Amino acid sequence: MDNKIKIVFLSNFLNHHQLPICNELMKQVDGSFRFIATTPVPEERLRMGYSDYNDSHSFVVKAYDGENDEISRLISDADIVISAGAPSLSSLVKRIRSDKLTFVYAERLLKDGDQLLKNPLRLLKYKWLFSRFRFNNLHLLCASSYAAIDFYKLGAFPDKKYKWGYFPELPSVNHKTFECSPRSSHSHDLNLLWAGRLLDWKRPFDVLELALKLKASEIPFRLNIIGDGPEAVRLKQAIHDWQLSDQVKMLGSKTPVEVRNFMTMSDVFLFTSDYHEGWGAVLNEAMGCGSAVVASHACGSTSYLIQNGVNGLVFPCGDTDSIFNYVNLLAANESLRFRLGKNAQQTVSGEWSASSAVVRFLELCECIQNGRPTPFESGPCSIAKEISNEEAEAEARLYADRVDMIQ
């Protein structure tokens, strides 16, 4: 595709998970890229150490006060528009009705199960937002392995759903020196890490149950928990009550760079969230840092990023026995930890890197414009199959029940 094409990315604000993709788009289209930010960076994010990328990047156009002539012109004149969320701006709706190539970039829609489909008013709202354009030149970039089936249930984007995700900044990778990383110096305690907001649906108590099982089995370990949130007080109390203070440390909030530093030092990263986790870029980051990841099947990124037993291990969400069995295996098998971590790095620095995704995206756009199917069979811009939570859970359970066969 011509590198002079004009691309517009419309979202609330530019964050560190989107920045690598935006930088790659800017580079690939020779500067003909604009990011339209509809809101300032929230103060809460700034207090957590987030940078204000809205102010520091020249390709950002601020639309805090809604549409104006410049915003409308950018959306209308672009060859490709990516909208993070439902089409709402009048100029975007007009563009879609004119059959100009447009993408919706979305996580899963039915995070509360099919309850939305049982509410006539909410169902009507979402059908109006998405399904009315089902025959237009509007396509879905699925930032969750469960987005495809959710939108299928609404009758939206028929045969126009593609794998996508988030592509956060990752540390530079040298696969040849992987075994010399700091984590390889730990000859005693297994170094475990959990990171995220301390919310009920992220299931931080699952890792405390794991800690109890590891302690009872006399497996030496250290568990660091990074993050803050509503469950912090209960977690601190549980650590005290369950006599885990020597093994488990709550470190509070950390900046993205600090989190990645902890990931680089960790043997195993634990990702326990349930189906409310639309994507979970922390998984990309942990894989990029070379941690052996043990991840819940219910997280939106898991099925896209992890090939079970090859570059990570997937357990049925909430099954702490399976988590323990995997971690017990990793504690005893250092070569398996290294292999999973190295393969994880190769996944997110290769097929699932920002640079690869943008090259694929531009090729996909050219194929769509010329009436050809996507050429990709896996990874970003391949067809997003309609996978249900039940199917993914059954597959994870089948593998977890065969843990003794993993080498």
Residues 41 and 158 in one domain: yes
The yes-or-no verdict on residue 173 having pLDDT over 70 is no
Residue recorded with tokens 């790659």: 24
Q: Choose between 300 and 46: higher pLDDT.
A: 300
Residue 2 domain-assigned (yes or no): no
Do residues 260 and 168 touch, judged by C-beta distance below 8 A? no
Q: Choose between 398 and 181: higher pLDDT.
A: 398
Using 50, 70 and 90 to split pLDDT, how confident is the model at 1?
Answer: low
Q: How far apart are CA 43 and CA 325, in angstroms?
A: 41
Strands of 214-333 (E only): list them: 221-226, 248-252, 268-271, 292-296, 313-315
Do residues 151 and 140 touch, judged by C-beta distance below 8 A? yes
For residue 179, give the DSSP letter: G
Residues 105 and 136 in one domain: yes
The yes-or-no verdict on residue 177 having pLDDT over 60 is no
Q: What is the pTM of this model?
A: 0.92
Closest CA to 254 of 194, 295, 205, 202: 194
Residue 1 domain-assigned (yes or no): no
Residue 299 domain-assigned (yes or no): yes
CA dihedral of residues 260, 264, 265, 269 (deg, nearest 10) = 80
Q: Is 181 exposed, middle or buried (0-12, 13-18, 19+ CB in 10 A)?
A: middle
Q: How far is CA 321 from the centre of its chain?
A: 25
Residues 288 and 143 in one domain: no
The yes-or-no verdict on residue 164 having pLDDT over 50 is yes
CATH code (residue 83):
3.40.50.2000
Residues 298 and 399 in one domain: yes
Residues 343 and 395 in one domain: yes
Identify the domain containing residue 133 by its residue range. Answer: 7-168+351-386
Average pLDDT of 356-375?
A: 97
Residues 108 and 224 in one domain: no
Residues 23 and 73 in one domain: yes
Residues 282 and 303 in one domain: yes
pLDDT at 187: 52
The yes-or-no verdict on residue 175 having pLDDT over 50 is no
